[in-house]
């Protein structure tokens, strides 16, 4: 679910559409991701690892944007 949702966010962002996708679903995925993704899963500077470093996110950002930033996307 996380992968599919996040790729949907990627497509929305790339095509200039709203990234405020399914707020309740995004909140649930974000909560689950925060529990499951440990620091060791983050890529180091060499790019090794399934997730990039968490990115900054604006205060009041949508749940989907917060999830994307947590997963390493630039929001």
What does the H/E/C string look like for the chain? CHHHHHHHHHHHHHCCCCCCCCHHHHHHHHHHHHHHCCHHHECCCCCCCCECCCCCCCCCCCHHHHHHHHCCCCC
Q: 40 falls in which pLDDT band (50, 70, 90)?
A: confident
Radius of gyration of the chain, Cα coordinates, nearest whole angstrom: 12
Task: Note the pLDDT of residue 45.
Answer: 62
Task: Report how far residue 39's alpha carbon sits from residue 18's, in angstroms, rounded to the nearest whole number.
Answer: 29
> Where does the pLDDT of residue 13 fall: very low under 50, low under 70, confident under 90, or very high at 90 and above?
very high
Alpha carbons 17 and 30: distance in angstroms, whole number = 21
Q: Is the pLDDT of residue 46 over 70?
A: no
């Amino acid at each position: 679910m996380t992968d599919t949702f996040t790729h949907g966010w990627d497509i929305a962002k790339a095509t200039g559409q709203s990234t405020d996708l399914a707020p309740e679903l995004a909140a649930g995925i974000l909560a689950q991701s925060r529990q499951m993704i440990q620091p060791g899963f983050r890529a180091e500077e060499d790019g090794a690892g399934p997730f990039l470093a968490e990115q900054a996110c604006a205060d009041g950002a949508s749940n989907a944007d917060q999830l994307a930033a947590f997963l390493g996307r630039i929001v």
